[in-house]
Amino acid sequence: MSDKILQSIFEFTKKYQDPENNAPFDEKNPNIQIIEKNGNINISLSVSQQYFEEYKKLGDVFKESLSKIDGVISINIALTSEKKPNESNTQNSRFKINASNIIAIASGKGGVGKSTFAVNLAAAMTTLGKKVGILDADIYGPSVPRMMGISGRPEANDNKKLIPLENYGIKCMSIGFLVDVDTPTIWRGPMVMKALEQMFNGVEWGKLDYLIVDLPPGTGDAQITMAQNSKLSGSIIISTPQDVALIDARKGINMFKKVNVPIIGLVENMSYFICDNCKEKHFIFSTGGAKKEAEKFQIPFLGSLEINKELRIQSDEGRPACIDNPQGDIAKQYLEIAKKIF
C-alpha cells in the first residue's frame, strides 16, 4: 500500500522541475525526500536560499494536489535550507574537487604520527561506509603510499587527468608518485602551489564523501596554499603529549585560526604504552597535555591514541590497522575518533 502511495506522489512531483538543479523531482533527485507512514506524508525539500520563493510555491502546489491522492491522510512540507556539501568545495576555490568534505591533517612537528593518523582515519571512514580519498601533500616526506601498500605511478586518462592509485577501496594520490621520493624537495611557494593544484585539478578523483589531506609538518607554504585555494572543511592537529611537540602544535592552531580554517579538533598520539608484561599504562611522553591545550584554545579534543607496536608494523607493511585488524585496540581508537568527525 505505502509503496503505491509513494509511487503516486513521485508520479506527480516529477512533472515539476527543481529550480536549483533543473532535474525532475523524482526518486533520484537529492533535493526531495519523502517519508510515508500510514498515509501521513512528510516531504522535505532542500532549498538553496537563491530559489527560496520558487520552492515555497512548489511546496504549496504539492500540498494542495497531493492531498487528493487516494490513501493520503495528511501532508506536511518542510523547506530545509541545508547547504549542499559539494558546493563548498567547488565554488570560489582554485583547487576543484567533487568531495563533500576536505579535511587537512596537520602537525607542528614531524614524527608525531600525522601520516599514520591520515591513513587510518581514511581507513576508518571507509570501514564506516564512506567514499574516501587521501591526498598526500607532505612534499618533504611523502609516506602515505607506503602506509597504504601502494607503489607505481598513476596513469593519465583520455582527459589527460591522472587516475589515482587505489587500495582497500581508498583512492590515493601522492606527491611521491610525481617526484622521486629520494630527491630532496626544496620547494618554494609557487612550486608548492603548482604541485598541489595538479593533485586536485589534474586528478580524476570522482565523487568522494571525504578527501583526507596529509599536510607537511609545520606552518609553511603548503598549509597557506591549501587554506587559500581549497575549501577546507576543517583541520585536525596531531600532537604527542610532551611540551616540545605541543609548542609547535600551538603554532599550527594559531595559523589555522588566522586563515579561518575551522579546527575540527586536536588528537593526542602516543599518549601511553601498555606493557605486555605488567599490562599497566606507561605515560612515556607525559600525559594530558593535548587535552589541556585543546581546552585552552577552546577547540574539541578528539581523543588519545596509544603507542602500539602492531600499528607501527602494519604501517611499515602497508596495511592500515582499521582494515587489517578492525577489532584490534588501536583500530577501535581510530574508529572512535572517526565517528566524532561525521
| Residues contributing to the site for ligand ADP (CB under 6 A) | 107, 110-116, 143, 269-270, 305, 307-308, 311-312, 315
Nearest to 115 by CA among 165, 172, 55: 172
Beta strands in 38-98 (DSSP E): 40-46, 74-80
* Residue entry with cell 598549509: 223
CB-based contact 236:104 (threshold 8 Å): yes
Q: Which is nearer to ligand ADP, 89 or 116 (CB)?
A: 116
Q: Which is nearer to ligand ADP, 62 or 334 (CB)?
A: 334
- Minimum gap (Å) between residue 89 Cβ and ligand ADP: 24
- Strands 165-167 and 273-274, sheet pairing: unpaired
Cα–Cα dist 330/336, whole Å: 10
Residue 284 to residues 160, 270, 277, 333, 338, Cα–Cα distance (Å): 50, 8, 16, 19, 25
Q: Which is nearer to ligand ADP, 196 or 215 (CB)?
A: 215
Return the residue nearest ligand ADP (CB atom).
113
Cα–Cα dist 270/256, whole Å: 23
What H or E segment, with its residue span, contains residue 291?
Answer: helix 289-297
Under 8 Å CB-to-CB from 217, ≥6 apart: which residues?
Answer: 106, 107, 108, 109, 110, 112, 114, 138, 140, 248
Q: Which is nearer to ligand ADP, 135 or 305 (CB)?
A: 305
Under 8 Å CB-to-CB from 14, ≥6 apart: which residues?
Answer: 24, 25, 26
Q: Which three cell numbers stand for residue 200?
A: 586536485
Q: Which three cell numbers stand for residue 140?
A: 618533504
* Residue entry with cell 598541489: 196
Q: Which three cell numbers stand for residue 111?
A: 614524527
For 294, the 3-state DSSP assignment is helix
For 107, the 3-state DSSP assignment is strand
CB-based contact 213:135 (threshold 8 Å): yes
